[in-house]
Chains A and B, each alone.
Chain A
Amino acid sequence: MDVAWEMFLLKVFYGILALVAILTFAAYAVLAERKVSAWIQGRVGPNRTTLPIVGDIPILGPFLRSLGLFQPMADGLKFLFKEEMCPGQVNRFHYHLAPILALIPALSVLAVVPFGQYVASTGADPIPLVLADLDIGILLIFALSSLGVYGIVLAGWASNSKYPFLGGVRASAQMISFELAMGLSVLPVFLWVNEPGSIGGLNLARVVDWQDNGWGMIFVQPVSALVFLVALFAESNRLPFDMPESETDLVGGFHTEYGAFKFGLFFTAEYAHVIVGSAIFALLFLGGWHFLPGVEDPWPIGWSGAALSFLWFALKTFAMSFLFIWVRWTLPRFRYDQVMKLGWGKLLPLALGNLLLYAVLASWMG
């Protein structure tokens, strides 16, 4: 086995590790969604599932059970053991292709998302921890995540059924409309952080570097953050913009005809999208893994510091994911025309004006 092969296998190993991590997060985001919704609606939420040995530990077992911590495992198993039906009217090949097509972009975006920093020795430059350190960073994220719409449209089309079809068509128009506002809203951020004379780049780690005094980009560019956040909600098809799904008027939207693990893949893709979206928001606007505003990063040198910076960043990401859940269980769904009006009539002009404003400010300040 030569060195090149070992390096290649190492990449595969890192890839598997990253995906296992994000899928675990996604599974527990589902649990968080159920628990938070229960809390908001004055219910208890999942509290019955238990494991044979861990659940029998005197005080800890019942406590973990009441938190519902074993629920995601039961959900996963149930997805596996459910009868996997394939309705007779569907276009078989595309019907099976769609959930996989929805999952791949949602997961592979993770490659360019940095998740912490490593400082080798005192005074050394911090190295961002990331799978692929690409200069085109955010552009690759947009390119990949816009592929996610194909999975949804294909699911709606291949189902060969009325409501999924409508859901798919709605999804296509909605997602492309908000993609514009999203793309424009991050432009001022990169305009701001690329200093004269340096080689510019769209790397997310560069934005985090710029925020190393702890003050997040959200304080410098609140409008960009707002537009990005609203577009993020629309892109991940979550309430108040869940037009493609809207269970009260389209039954289940694009995944009405899906069941068992094929539905599970759509579900996983949605929550992976929420978590990665929260992570990107935390990186761009909340200072990533840097500590509180005006406070020097307390992370020690070496791998313990890297782990701490990752944990701090994860905390910010989870806080953002909580916001996603909170909004879902608080706001009602908009009408479709209102959604489109918001995207084209409000967010797009706002993002354009915002870009011009910061371009003027940046050239004025030099």
Chain B
Amino acid sequence: MAALTILANAAEGPFDNYLRVAVLAVVALVFGILPLLIALVLRPKKMGEIKQAAFECGLESKGDPWVQFKVQYYVYALAFVIFDVEVIFLYPWAVAFADVGMGGFIAMAVFILLLAESLVYLWLKGVLSWK
């Protein structure tokens, strides 16, 4: 209760708006869990061995579900991390664009071209084309 009171008092501080997002997320959590709990009470329960088998495609499943998959998925993820971090750096620049002047523009233009260059490198290396 004391913790909640502190939370309620924090609501008037500088983090007011962030608290609203948090409140909405918690309400969304409740909206997700509540129908599941209601369904728990209402639903019929008639379990059976065949009913509890994996559905998959309707036929009896064969073999291990942990199939080997392409390494390519990981490569995309690695490339994504590099580019996403670089995109994050562009945001403060776009916000302050009008005030950083020509120097800021040239610096960032070089940065964007480096980004483009690494993209070209990845393409030529062949890691982005799906084989």
Contact = CB atoms under 8 A, between A and B. Distances in A.
Interface string B49-92: 10111111110010001110100110011011001100100110
B20 A131 contact: yes
Interface stretch (A4-12, A35-43, A292-300, A314-322): A4-12
A349 interface: yes
Contacts of B130: 336-337, 340-341
Contacts of B8: 4-5, 7-8
B67 to A, nearest CB: 6
B39 A260 contact: yes
A58 interface: no
Interface string A333-363: 0001100110011001100100110010011
A236 B43 CA distance: 30
A84 B43 contact: yes
B127 to A, nearest CB: 10
Given A4-B8, A352-B115, A180 B36 contact: no
A152 to B, nearest CB: 14
A4 B9 contact: yes
B110 to A, nearest CB: 11
A11 B31 contact: no
B45 to A, nearest CB: 7
Contact of B77 (A14, A103, A173): A173
B77 A172 contact: yes
Main secondary structure, interface of A, reads helix
Contacts of B99: 196-197, 200
Interface residues of B, number: 77
Contacts of A132: 17-18, 20-21, 24
A80 B42 contact: yes
Contacts of B123: 344-345
Q: Which residue of A83, A131, A201, A344 has the most chain B CB atoms within 10 A of its CB atom?
A: A344
Contacts of B28: 19, 103-104, 107-108
A84 B118 CA distance: 49
B77 A104 contact: no
Interface stretch (A62-70, A161-169, A215-223, A301-309): A161-169
A72 B107 CA distance: 54
A87 B87 contact: no
Given A4-B9, A103-B32, A261 B39 contact: yes
B131 to A, nearest CB: 8
B21 to A, nearest CB: 4
A270 interface: no
Nearest to A139: B91
A265 B90 CA distance: 35
Contact of A88 (B39, B52, B116): B52
B89 to A, nearest CB: 11
B113 to A, nearest CB: 8
B119 A352 contact: yes
Interface string B28-47: 11011101101110111111
8 contacts: A111-B21, A132-B21, A161-B61, A180-B83, A183-B84, A187-B87, A256-B55, A348-B83
